[in-house]
Amino acid sequence: MRLLIITQKVDQNDQLLGFFVHWIAKLAKKFESILVICLEKGEFDLPSNAQVMTLGKDRRLPKLFWLFNFYKYIFQYRKKYGAVLAHMNPIWMVLGGLCWRLMGKKNYLWYTSGGVTAKLKLAEKLTHVVLTASPESFRLPSKKVIVTGHGVDTDLFKPDFSRSNLKEGSSRFNRGDIDSRLRILSVGRIAPVKNYEVLIEAAKILQKKGVNFSVTMMGEPVLDRDKKYGRSLKQKIADLNLQSHFNFAGKINNRVLASVYQSHDIFVHLSKTGSLDKSLLEAMASGIKVLSSNDWSHHNLPPELTFNENDPLELANKIKNTSQTDFREQLKDYVVKNHNLDGLIEKISSIISRGSS
């Protein structure tokens, strides 16, 4: 079986999408060959049976050329693949789903987000199977959905017991001395859906309560509206005199991200998507405490680890009292058992191989 994968970016250094290079490498072991079409490519190291082609965003080609290259590649290489896996963005299925059906190719959409758009509705009609991480990660009613779990590299994202309280280490996010601050972390794109205002308001409450803490915001805005939102967050932090507590650290190499989790005490997850975010699972696997307000968390985490999404006082109190709750070991074991990468790759490859044989 030969597989075509459509994805946004192939770049192992990208914080948000760097993980997908590891997916491709592991899928390459399950298939005769892998052909990858992406919008842009950067640095990657893949097996010899994996070929990557870019639509041209990395070469600054106009969007019309992206579309031209997309159709050129899927028709030109049609004899080199027997099935298609579209990763995350439903536009791939909207553009190519009918073509692949006419060519007799089974196509599969991997999608994990709480949002339901017109593109997603159309993509669901055109795809044969929808693969998703949890019931909350695909909100459109469909008999095509198969829940597979997420794919966290638990060999990378794991506790580092060489650190004292997971604080000491050589990462640039650590100091050489023992720091008494409560180190709070948030990871993800800087965007309104992440609901960071609640964390800022909770930080002000912590400051008034005399809590010694720091907040690392890991990620950066992508769209223009996200950049505007990022500026408003920094202004809010300045207005509340919280500059000394916050560090906007930007994006980093995905492979370094594990040490960031390990060097913090608590991960705060405020995303309004409602779906199961991979960053939450990465934090759980890394052995730090977590607090979350999204739908999946309210259904699956102990109540001590959840809070109402628009309640900064509840969040502040749970951060302040975090030393009284410790579910780290059972949360780590949960990720290893239900959301490890090897298990996901085995499920995806088996589903595609059975469905396309």
- pLDDT: which is higher, 27 or 171: 27
Hey, which bits of 62-153 come out as E strands?
83-87, 106-110, 129-132, 145-147
DSSP-derived secondary structure for 259-291? HHHHT-SEEEE--SS-S--HHHHHHHHTT-EEE
Q: Give the pLDDT of residue 70.
A: 98
Highest mean pLDDT among 4-18, 227-241, 310-324 belongs to 227-241
Measured CA to CA, the distance from residue 154 to residue 281 in angstroms comes to 10
- How many other C-beta atoms can be found within 10 angstroms of the C-beta atom of residue 3? 27
Confidence of residue 172 (pLDDT cuts 50, 70, 90): very low
Look at residue 29 and give its three-state secondary structure.
coil
pLDDT, tens digit (0-9, with 9 covering 90-100), for 277-299: 899 999 999 999 999 998 889 99
Report how far Cα 346 is from the mean position of its chain's Cα atoms. 20
Measured CA to CA, the distance from residue 222 to residue 253 in angstroms comes to 16
Q: Give the pLDDT of residue 357.
A: 61
Mean pLDDT score across all residues of the chain:
91
Least confident of 41-45, 170-174, 272-276: 170-174
Measured CA to CA, the distance from residue 136 to residue 71 in angstroms comes to 33
Give the domains, in start order, of the chain with CATH numbers: 2-151+340-356 (3.40.50.2000), 164-337 (3.40.50.2000)
Residue type, 351: I
What sign does the dihedral 281-283-286-287 (CA atoms) show?
negative
Alpha helices in 114-167 (DSSP H): 118-126
Q: What is the pTM of this model?
A: 0.88
pLDDT, tens digit (0-9, with 9 covering 90-100), for 120-131: 999 999 999 999
